Amino acid sequence: MPNQFWVPRVRLMFMAEDPVVFADRVAEAYYSRQQTEALLRYHFYVDCMPMDGMGEVDQMSFKKMVSWAKGPAHLSKDKM
């Protein structure tokens, strides 16, 4: 019907639901999605990194690569 539309479940607030609880739930869902997408990208990049013909990487270069890969705040060292 022309006057109907879809609402994503995460944005649907019920009349009996506390607005503060609803806002917390939506914020947590978006934060979790952002973190999950970043971790998926990180692991995808590491898995697809070509290793053919590559020698041993020195420890200092490896530490720099890890710090650059974990650069976004939601990929901090304590969360992985």
Would you list the domain boundaries of the chain? 9-70
Is pLDDT at 80 greater than 50 in this prediction? no
Rounded Cα gap, residues 63 and 80, in angstroms:
15
pTM above 0.85, yes or no: no
What pLDDT score does 36 carry?
92
Q: Which residue has the tokens 């022309």?
A: 2
Rounded Cα gap, residues 74 and 9, in angstroms:
24
DSSP state, 46?
H
Assign 25 a pLDDT band (cuts: 50, 70, 90). very high
What pLDDT score does 26 carry?
93
Rounded Cα gap, residues 38 and 74, in angstroms:
8
Q: pLDDT, tens digit, for every residue of 11-20?
A: 888 899 999 9
Q: Which residue has the tokens 């990929």?
A: 75
